Amino acid sequence: MSGNSNDSSGQGMIVNPKPKADNQDWDGDDADRADRLRFEEEQAMIREQSEARAAAKALAEKKLAENKLAEGEVTEPKATEAAKNTK
């Protein structure tokens, strides 16, 4: 490139900048609503998975307590209470 200060190739120049008002992201547009909906769906799915894991864990603990109660191996009052609460 020549050292000419009158270079009119346009390199490095912002020819048609967008005004700042056009670059603003307004609340409530379709993309924001879609993002919010997707986020809410993901949170609901996470909540359901968490509840399912908790229910599965409670069921496993209940079965373990019932087995210990049936075999006479109950050493913790917690296991006895869990087995009684299920009947």
Quote the pLDDT of residue 1: 47
Alpha carbon distances (Å) from 78 to 10, 42, 63, 86: 79, 35, 13, 13
CA-closest candidate to residue 84, choices 60, 57, 62: 62
- For the chain, the straight-line distance linking the first and the last C-alpha, in angstroms and rounded, comes to 88
Half-sphere CA count of 7, side-chain side, radius 13 A: 10
Quote the pLDDT of residue 28: 65
Using 70 as the pLDDT threshold, list the residues of the chain that sit under it.
Answer: 1-28, 73-87
